[in-house]
Structure 1
Amino acid sequence: MPMLASLGVTKLWIPPACKAAAGPGGNGYDVYDLWDLGEFEQKGARATKWGTKEALVRMAGAAAREGVAVLFDAVLNHKMGADFCERMVATRVEDKDRRVDMKVDGDERRQDIEAWTGFEFPGRKGRYSRMKWNKEHFTGVGHDRLRGEDGVWKLEGKEWAEDVDEELGNYDFLLSADIDHKHPEVKAELFRWIEWLPSQLQVSGLRLDAIKHYSFSFLRDFVAHVRKSIGPDWCIVGEYWREDSEFLARFIEFMDHQISLFDVQLVSNFSKLSRMYEKGDLRKVLDDSLVLWKPDHAVTPVASFFLPLAYAIILLRANCGLPCVFYADLFGSIGQHPQPNFANFVPPTSGGAILPKMMLARKLWAYGSQYDYFDEPHCVGFTRVGHSSQSSGHGLAVVMTNAWEYASKAMFVGKQHAGEVWTDLLRWCPGQVSIGMDGWGVFPVGYRSVAIWVNANAAGREFVDTFVL
């Protein structure tokens, strides 16, 4: 935690820490019991996949001591791993359009089915909450045990929430037992749970899973309840996976600007450009991205060969949202199926040497006015001129290319830097750049890479140059 804080990390998004249906084998998105944070013997173990409640509390405490806010991953759309089945009447609907009833057994749409909708949480024995869930608390299910069939069934007397994403006609149902957020007992339970959570561990925000699948009005009420009952400063990020930044901007406005969203369009742009290799047009990297609509409410994750370029964009540009750095890109990963002695270890991006330097560059020098040079399809750049309140006013220049040849770009960094000698922080591009009396310099970049040019004598430069993760 001290090391992460020193790199400028201010928030830590952790995996879902509630008991999963698959017990220690579940990632947490197969949520079983919100009130079990690895404390009770349920689903074959006391701990979740990620550890015990005590370990969770210790981790959150260590983060708080370093000024790092923990974002809790809340899965509130569905429940899985029910304790018993219930008999019920339901209507099977078309999987590709949930508004349309499917014709089954001739023309009979309503069916008697058996579904996993009974939750008693026997291991918890009513601790923290006495609510037991049954079919009345759900709108639909994804499996009929009576016939042994998977599908989508809407329960009798229930309707899908109308204010959800219109994909598949109505995207209220995602999987398993779909929670009915209109039910008063459900709403009260979820409000009690979020009030209880910060009493158990030091948490300062939420990442809300799959929010396109449940009532927008419920979500707005839920977020307003968090702001009023817990604290106005909580960071709340929603996962709304839709490649339509204008729609997401309107959604943020509907939420009274009380929630941030992942910048899906920017992720898509990174992905498309990385697959096109040298044919990709770097001038279009920010086209239609959420950061252009709502820069203060966009969260920006990234993906593969393009990683160093993508990280340079989200970490070092002004008004580019809240950058999201992934654990595996810093420390490496052991994959989905760990092997003994870490035999399948996947090392971090560029051996772990590049991303920390970019994070430190953001912390030290990514300040002041920005000048953009997105004027060539295969070589683009931008500069930050620095601010007197940060690191003695030193700035930086970023240039990147997706071509298989060296490139360079003339860019303005400010007359206050005249006469300075700048070098590439990443050491991928050799040589020096002398800043002219007019504040301009010509900054080179190696093929298919990025260069971050900073005054060789800038405040903090020696620390960054010698930093080892």
Structure 2
Amino acid sequence: MKQISQLRIMASCLIFSFISCDKDETINENQETSRDFKTIQVTNHDGHPFNTGDDKANLSSKYVANAGGGVMMQGFYWDVPAGGTWWNVVKGKVTAWGNAGIDAVWLPPASKAQNGPFSMGYDPTDYYDFGDYNQNGTTETRFGSKSELTSLITTAHEQNMKVYADIVINHNSGGQSEYNPFTGSNTYTKFNVASGKFNRTYNDFYKNSYGNNDEGSFGGFPDLCHANPYVQDWLWGRSDAVGKYYKNTMKFDGWRFDYVKGFGPWVVNQWNANVGGFSVGEYWDGNAATLEWWCDNANSSAFDFACYYKMDEAFDGNDLTKLSSGDMLWKRRPFRAVTFVSNHDTDQIWKKTLAYAYILTHEGYPTIFYRDYEEWLDKNKLNNLIWIHNNKATGNTSILYADNDEYLARRNGYNGNPGLVVYLNNSDSWQERWIQTNWSNTTIKDYTGNSSWQPTTQGDKWVKIQCPPNSYSIWSTL
């Protein structure tokens, strides 16, 4: 960790008394280091904010229209309280989330699953049972009733928030045993569900007349065969297909596709082409090129696992150069990347505050994890970062400086919005650095309040800014 040399600054003030010793103006050794560092232009586009692809004509979001785009809330965590209360818990929070600048909430799988009142929904049985049929040992799901879910969605829409459904279409669970001629044994592949919609038999799962397998199976559950036209018709083709029922009847606005490694990207592509709405896939892979390939072929966004792993290396591994040199989906496809710090499956980043400062100032569609927001972190600081994202995080990205402890990047602004400069400090002491902005002879301030400086940029747009230890500052014009 670096230390600022206070003795050197004091000596400079004594020897060169004609130079102001105001720390807003003092040039130290960091200035030359910064000016020697070559700015990296990371993305090149017109700067238009993230577009969630929402095609609901009657949903005019007061947040996505803002300069920086939207922020998503993951509205659950693993093993939320059972007992049918969760839809009401989330309903009670969406107004506050909307007021904070959250533009969408992602809900857990909403339909009836094999484990009935105890299931988190990732073992689906009946896609059309949202807690209104008595099957699998319960009428309500773990989260509540169909009417409670409908009320939650209605309340979110009244706040101009979108609601994304978690869709599990790789595998099913809860079928009855039947003889399967393709395996020569009995398999649990007979689904005569209470809703009467999308009943299935062994030929709707691998292995079957369409082949032995597809791209992947999960946990030994029956692996749904998307090559079967009957399955395609029920998932996205017919007027009451799963996707269209969720969208047109339940009023979901988009989809988080679970375990998309288990089937080809063409499946999501076809769903999107036939159903519409926002779409993000859980392609759990840290290779940015692989994520880019999946997005392009699925015509969908993806969670930026490459960014997630690089943030862990950077903040917890004490090497912020990983943020400048690391390959991430948001750098390749900024309008396809959904960034996150933690979720219901993985929570390995310890320095979360720095990570949220990173994703909420950089490109992509940032996601906030329920427990981070409601339980574990400082909600006021997160709300401040959400405001900065929505109002200041505009334009394409230039990385200004990076070393083990410090990282500085500039959002270059869009459509009259000035953008920002973000300064991340992973060291145990205050740091100062000269950087080049896009603003000439302009007074700027730190919108986090972590620094009280209000320096004025020089005619050549250079200015010195500071950052507190193990924290961040975010600068823009007054």
Q: TM-score, normalised by structure 1?
A: 0.73
- Contact 1:160–1:172 (8 Å) recurs in 2: no
- Equivalent position SS for 1:252: helix
1:381 aligned partner, one-letter code? L
1:35 aligned partner, one-letter code? Y
209 and 388 in structure 1: CA distance in 2 versus 1, 3 angstrom threshold:
closer
Q: Aligned-pair distance for 1:254?
A: 2.3
- Equivalent position SS for 1:324: strand
2:259 is the counterpart of 1:210: yes
Q: What is residue 94 of structure 1 aligned with on the other side?
A: none
Q: Aligned-pair distance for 1:17?
A: 0.5
440 and 161 in structure 1: CA distance in 2 versus 1, 3 angstrom threshold:
same
Q: What is residue 12 of structure 2 aligned with on the other side?
A: none
Provide the C-alpha distance between the structure 2 equivalents of 1:286 and 1:197, rounded to a whole number of angstroms: 41
2:379 is the counterpart of 1:331: no
216 and 412 in structure 1: CA distance in 2 versus 1, 3 angstrom threshold:
closer
Provide the C-alpha distance between the structure 2 equivalents of 1:364 and 1:220, rounded to a whole number of angstroms: 32
Give the counterpart of 2:275 among 200, 208, 226: 226
Q: What is residue 316 of structure 1 aligned with on the other side?
A: 361
Q: What is residue 283 of structure 2 aligned with on the other side?
A: 240
| Per-residue deviation, residues 311-363 of structure 1 (Å, max 9, x unmatched) | 2222112xx2111122222112xxxxxxxxxxxxxxx21x3221110001112
Q: What is residue 444 of structure 1 aligned with on the other side?
A: 466
1:74-223 aligned within 5 A: 74-82=167-175, 84-89=176-181, 112-122=184-194, 124=195, 126=196, 129=197, 131-139=198-206, 155=207, 157=209, 159-161=211-213, 164=215, 171-172=216-217, 175-191=220-236, 192-223=241-272
1:47-66 aligned within 5 A: 47-66=140-159
- 5+ long unaligned stretches in structure 1: 92-111, 140-154, 165-170, 228-233, 333-347, 459-469
Q: What is residue 410 of structure 1 aligned with on the other side?
A: 434
Provide the C-alpha distance between the structure 1 equivalents of 2:427 and 2:306, rounded to a whole number of angstroms: 23
Q: Aligned-pair distance for 1:386?
A: 5.2
Name the structure, 1 or 2, with higher relative contact order (CA <8 Å, separation 6+): 2
- Contact 1:266–1:286 (8 Å) recurs in 2: no
62 and 285 in structure 1: CA distance in 2 versus 1, 3 angstrom threshold:
farther
328 and 316 in structure 1: CA distance in 2 versus 1, 3 angstrom threshold:
same
- Contact 1:64–1:202 (8 Å) recurs in 2: no
Provide the C-alpha distance between the structure 1 equivalents of 2:332 and 2:156, rounded to a whole number of angstroms: 32
2:456 aligned partner, one-letter code? I
Q: Aligned-pair distance for 1:375?
A: 3.4
- Contact 1:174–1:213 (8 Å) recurs in 2: no
- Contact 1:161–1:214 (8 Å) recurs in 2: no
Count of matched residue pairs: 374
- Contact 2:283–2:302 (8 Å) recurs in 1: yes
Q: Aligned-pair distance for 1:285?
A: 5.1
Provide the C-alpha distance between the structure 1 equivalents of 2:122 and 2:379, rounded to a whole number of angstroms: 29
Provide the C-alpha distance between the structure 1 equivalents of 2:134 and 2:324, rounded to a whole number of angstroms: 49
Q: Aligned-pair distance for 1:37?
A: 1.1
| Per-residue deviation, residues 420-441 of structure 1 (Å, max 9, x unmatched) | 262x4434x4442422333432
2:313 is the counterpart of 1:272: yes
- Contact 1:173–1:213 (8 Å) recurs in 2: yes
Q: What is residue 260 of structure 1 aligned with on the other side?
A: 301
Give the counterpart of 2:165 among 53, 69, 72: 72
- Contact 2:247–2:275 (8 Å) recurs in 1: no
364 and 70 in structure 1: CA distance in 2 versus 1, 3 angstrom threshold:
same
- 5+ long unaligned stretches in structure 2: 1-93, 343-348
| Per-residue deviation, residues 391-443 of structure 1 (Å, max 9, x unmatched) | xx5x543211222222222123344552x262x4434x444242233343222
Q: What is residue 46 of structure 2 aligned with on the other side?
A: none
- Equivalent position SS for 2:129: coil
399 and 175 in structure 1: CA distance in 2 versus 1, 3 angstrom threshold:
same
1:189 aligned partner, one-letter code? W
- Contact 2:320–2:407 (8 Å) recurs in 1: no
1:290 aligned partner, one-letter code? L
2:382 is the counterpart of 1:355: yes
Q: Aligned-pair distance for 1:305?
A: 2.5
Provide the C-alpha distance between the structure 1 equivalents of 2:149 and 2:325, rounded to a whole number of angstroms: 37
Provide the C-alpha distance between the structure 1 equivalents of 2:396 and 2:185, rounded to a whole number of angstroms: 63
Q: CA RMSD in A?
A: 2.4
Q: Aligned-pair distance for 1:159?
A: 2.0
- Equivalent position SS for 1:452: strand
Q: TM-score, normalised by structure 2?
A: 0.72
Q: Aligned-pair distance for 1:292?
A: 1.6
Provide the C-alpha distance between the structure 1 equivalents of 2:395 and 2:329, rounded to a whole number of angstroms: 22
Q: Aligned-pair distance for 1:73?
A: 0.9
Q: Aligned-pair distance for 1:235?
A: 0.7
